[in-house]
Amino acid sequence: MEIKAWDRFWEKNFSKYWIKEGYMHGGDPMFRQVYDNSMRMRHRAAINYYGRVISWDELRNLILTAAGGLKKLGIEKGDRVYLGLANSPQFVICYYAAHSLGAVVMAMSPLYKAGEVSYAVNDAGAKVMIIEESVVPVYNQIKDMVPTVEHVVVTALDEYLPEDPYPAFPADLKASGAEYPGTVAWKDFMAADLITQFEDVRPDDLALLQYTSGTTGRPKGAMLTHKNLLNGAWINSHMAPVTIEDRVIVVLPMFHITAMNDLLNNPMYTGCELIIMARFDVEAFLQAVERYKPTYTVIATPIVIMMANHPAFPKYDISSLKVVGIGGAALPVNIANRYQAMGINLFEGYGMSETTATTVCNAVDVNLFGSIGMVCPNMDIRVADVTDISRDVGIGEEGELWVKGDSNGIGYWNNPEATAETFLPGGWVRTGDIVKVDEKGFVYICGRLKEMIKVSAYSVFPAEVEEYMYAHPAIMECCAIGVPHETKGEEIKLFVVLKPDFVGKVTEEEIIDWAKGQMANYKYPRHIEFRDSLPKGNTGKVLRKDLVAEERAKWANA
């Protein structure tokens, strides 16, 4: 069912900030938007990096210089440029510099190891790698295994720091002073002449290979075009909404699609100030918010929970953060209330790499707690019956979310089989997420199609169990998975991180007994395992698949 068929239900709920029909962003790619902003707001702040302010004028020249450096290294339209960088001005500079030459960016975690890096570089055929110092040992391990790489540029994350950075810059990220034979130093790379002409880039040209972690097999490179990136940025600028007077702070890694779209392309499209932190630390983040007064950010729900439970939380004034996007886990009501009491508006949204992040979202004036919101402008959805995908489910029924619109990518790089499974005729992308939609058009995540747990033939989604369990006063974080059972097929196991005040004071049996009164008999967890922490990915999202793999290994060896 396409959401447009429900206008009579949700017309009155639609955000006043969202355009209901048509395009408002034009067709210029993001790098041209950045250039235009730099000419209009020359002396305003574009980037703040631990107190070092880079104006729009300076940022423009840095991007054009880096483009000259890439051109000098032989980069042409269609070539792939690998970015192995944490959050830094260099990431922003190189991202738009590559695009201004028509090159394709592939941004990867600097924490990746040799196998991960060599696979991605060879899969994409990267021609130039731009990496931070910490990645150099990895490159040295694989340099004889990546024949397409012609040049490697090395930078240190403190290249653009002020004399007295605030918050304190992580000591282990500062320059080592070492030289790296066979590579190009950042200062030499940036000694090039500025380019004087952009490459002729069309909206449907490939801009980004966004490698997805996936639940099985090797990562897949989702192919995103310049039109996709532009539409994604435009959606987020309306969702918040963000203006040139706002300040956006980014702690999620910009190589991940969420931060790349919501916290890099969004402010660069809008023309506001971007406050960059290289790494997330609770107190450092609180310090930065208090001093630089950002108004908007997006962070993972587990980070929101972690901050609220941190002893430093009450010490800092973070009330400037009027709008905070969250996602990745259920948010306990008591945590939401703490932020709302401070005037901080938490809202949930939904997106994925294949759809350039946000496609369904709450807005500042239409925010329903517990829902991921309503379909965004320029996007459509349908909710397909999982047993018969040709049929749409009804209002309130669960089905697989399909998404359609100008944010959708065009397939997976060199992977036609996976492309055919996810990117369907008519422009639809199958998300693999199970949702339901209420009579007002609000969408609710029920779980992942591949994460569905079968207990005595009943379908149980881990997210639902977790939402119930977060109501327990002792639970700070939790993650539910299915474990084998001889007669039921599977049972629910819950991994729990207790709040500090409850450690050693509550037992597994007490939590199970409590859970019996919260949900149906087949849903409540039969197994509880306390952990000091849960495995998390780059964005702070709990890695359920890692816990599943651990359990499978235990059962295999039993």
Identify the band that residue 16 occupies on the pLDDT scale cut at 50, 70 and 90.
Answer: confident
Q: Which of 487, 420, 380 is nearest to 5 (CA)?
A: 380
Look at residue 547 and tell me if it is in a domain: yes
- Asked if 56 and 37 count as a contact pair (C-beta separation under 8 A), the reply is yes
The stretch 359-370 carries a mean pLDDT of 88
Q: Which of 187, 178, 134 is nearest to 157 (CA)?
A: 134
Q: What per-residue confidence (pLDDT) applies to 467?
A: 83
Angle between helices 30-40 and 226-239 (to 10 degrees): 50
Identify the band that residue 457 occupies on the pLDDT scale cut at 50, 70 and 90.
Answer: low
Of the candidate ranges 94-108, 457-471, 493-507, the one whose mean pLDDT is the lowest: 457-471
Cis peptide before 167 (omega within 30 of 0): yes
The stretch 214-235 carries a mean pLDDT of 86
Strand, helix or coil at 318? coil
DSSP 195: P
Look at residue 483 and tell me if it is in a domain: yes
Of the candidate ranges 208-222, 314-328, 521-535, the one whose mean pLDDT is the lowest: 208-222
Q: What per-residue confidence (pLDDT) applies to 3?
A: 42
Looking at residue 143, its amino acid is: K
Please provide the average confidence, as pLDDT, over all residues in the chain. Answer: 91
Q: What is the pLDDT of residues 106-145, one digit of tens each?
A: 999 998 888 889 999 999 999 999 999 999 999 999 999 9
- Residue 219 has which token pair? 């990562």
- Residue 488 has which token pair? 């039921």
Q: What per-residue confidence (pLDDT) applies to 334?
A: 84
Q: What is the pLDDT of residues 273-304, one digit of tens each?
A: 999 999 999 999 999 999 999 999 999 888 89
Look at residue 501 and tell me if it is in a domain: yes
Strand, helix or coil at 278? coil
Report how far residue 541's alpha carbon sits from residue 547's, in angstroms, rounded to the nearest whole number: 13
Number of domains in the chain: 1
Looking at residue 287, its amino acid is: Q
The stretch 377-388 carries a mean pLDDT of 92
Instruction: Please check the confidence at residue 47 and state whether its pLDDT lies above 60.
Output: yes
Look at residue 506 and tell me if it is in a domain: yes
* Burial class of residue 182 (count of CB atoms within 10 Å of its CB; 0-12, 13-18, 19+): exposed
- Residue 136 has which token pair? 């150099």
Listing DSSP states for 123-190 in one string gives: HHT-SEEEEEGGGHHHHHHHTTT-TT--EEEEE-TTTT--SS-SSPPPGGGS------TTSEEHHHHT
Look at residue 508 and tell me if it is in a domain: yes
State which of 213-227, 277-291, 322-336, 376-390 shows the largest mean pLDDT: 277-291
Report how far residue 106's alpha carbon sits from residue 115's, in angstroms, rounded to the nearest whole number: 16
Instruction: Please check the confidence at residue 8 and state whether its pLDDT lies above 50.
Output: no
Look at residue 8 and tell me if it is in a domain: no
Q: What per-residue confidence (pLDDT) applies to 383?
A: 96
Q: Residue for token digits 């969408």?
A: 443
Q: What per-residue confidence (pLDDT) applies to 378?
A: 84
Instruction: Please check the confidence at residue 359 and state whether its pLDDT lies above 80.
Output: yes
Q: What per-residue confidence (pLDDT) applies to 510?
A: 97
Look at residue 302 and tell me if it is in a domain: no
Strand, helix or coil at 28? coil
Instruction: Please check the confidence at residue 527 and state whether its pLDDT lies above 60.
Output: yes
Strand, helix or coil at 553? helix
Pairing of strands 453-455, 458-460: antiparallel
Instruction: Please check the confidence at residue 72 and state whether its pLDDT lies above 70.
Output: yes
| CATH number of the domain residue 497 falls in | 3.30.300.30
Partnered with residue 404 across adjacent β-strands are 380, 428
pTM: 0.85
Q: What per-residue confidence (pLDDT) applies to 558?
A: 65
The stretch 313-330 carries a mean pLDDT of 89
Instruction: Please check the confidence at residue 23 and state whether its pLDDT lies above 60.
Output: no
Look at residue 469 and tell me if it is in a domain: yes
CA dihedral 284, 286, 287, 290 (to 10 degrees): 160
Count of CB atoms situated within 10 Å of the CB of 272: 24
The rounded percent of the chain whose pLDDT value lies above 90 is 74
Q: What per-residue confidence (pLDDT) applies to 275?
A: 98
Q: What per-residue confidence (pLDDT) applies to 1?
A: 40
Residue 483: give the domain boundaries: 452-557
